[in-house]
Amino acid sequence: MSRPFAHLFLLNLLSATGCALMGVDTNDAISAGKPVSAEQLAEFRGEAPIRTILRLNTSNVTTLATDQRIRSLIWEELDESGLMSPEDRRRLNQSGVRVGVAGSTLPWALTSLLRGERVQSTSSPGDSRNVDGSTVFGTQLVLPQGSNSLIEIPSPGDSLRIPAGQIAGLKYGAELQNARCMFHVSTTEIGDGWVVIRFLPQIHYGEMSVRYSVAESGERLPVRQRIQPLYEQQFELKLHTGETAVIGYQKQDDWSVGQLMFQRESLSSLNEQVVTIELGAVEAIQGQKSVTVKYSKH
pLDDT tens digits, 1-55: 555 555 555 555 555 444 444 444 455 555 555 666 777 666 655 566 778 999 9
Smallest CA-to-CA distance from 235 within 250, 226, 245 is with 245
Residue 116 region by backbone torsions, left for phi larger than 0, else alpha for psi between -120 and 50, else beta:
left
| Average pLDDT estimate for 277-284 | 94
**232, part of any domain:** yes
In the three-class reduction of DSSP (H, G, I as helix; E, B as strand; rest coil), residue 296 is classed as: coil
**268, part of any domain:** yes
The pLDDT value recorded for residue 288 is 63
pTM confidence score: 0.75
* Domain ranges, residue 153: 51-123+130-284
In the three-class reduction of DSSP (H, G, I as helix; E, B as strand; rest coil), residue 61 is classed as: strand
Query: What average pLDDT does the structure give for the chain?
Result: 81
Q: What's the CA gap between 172 and 163, in Å, rounded? A: 7
Q: How confident is the model at residue 265 (pLDDT cuts 50, 70, 90)?
A: confident
**37, part of any domain:** no
**81, part of any domain:** yes
Phi and psi angles of residue 65, each rounded to the nearest 5 degrees, phi first: -65, -20
**136, part of any domain:** yes
**293, part of any domain:** no
**92, part of any domain:** yes
> Domain tally for the chain?
1
**27, part of any domain:** no
Smallest CA-to-CA distance from 248 within 123, 55, 65, 54 is with 65
